[in-house]
Amino acid sequence: MLGGKGERQVKREDMPALYNQIDLYICASTSEGFSQSVLEAAACDRGVISTKVGGCEDLITENHNGYFIRRDREQISCVVRRLESDRQLVRTLGENNRAVVEERYSWDVRVRDWLQFIESNLPARVATPPR
Give the CATH number of the domain where residue 61 resides: 3.40.50.2000
User: What is the Cα–Cα distance from 71 to 80, expressed in whole angstroms?
Assistant: 13
Does any domain span residue 95? yes
What percent of the chain shows pLDDT beyond 70? 91
User: How would residue 106 be classed by pLDDT, with cut points 50, 70 and 90?
Assistant: confident
Q: What sign does the CA torsion over 70, 74, 80, 83 have?
A: negative
Residue 61 belongs to a domain: yes
- How far is the C-alpha of 2 from the C-alpha of 36, rounded, in Å? 12
5 in a structural domain: no
The per-residue pLDDT for 78 is: 94
Average pLDDT over residues 62-84: 94
Look at residue 16 and tell me if it is in a domain.
Answer: yes
Q: How many domains does the chain have?
A: 1
Range of the domain at 75: 12-120
CB count in 10 Å sphere of residue 41: 28
Q: Is residue 7 part of a domain?
A: no
Q: Is the dihedral of CA 56, 61, 67, 71 positive or negative?
A: positive
Residue 3, pLDDT > 70, answer no
Q: How far is CA 52 from the centre of its chain?
A: 13
Residue 21 domain-assigned (yes or no): yes
Predicted local confidence at residue 112, as pLDDT: 87
Closest Cα to residue 25, out of 88, 99, 74, 79? Answer: 79
pLDDT band at 17 (very low <50, low <70, confident <90, very high): very high
Do the domain assignments include residue 6? no
Q: Is residue 126 assigned to a domain?
A: no
pLDDT tens-digit readout, 19-50: 999 999 999 988 877 888 999 999 999 999 99
Residue 122 confidence (pLDDT):
84
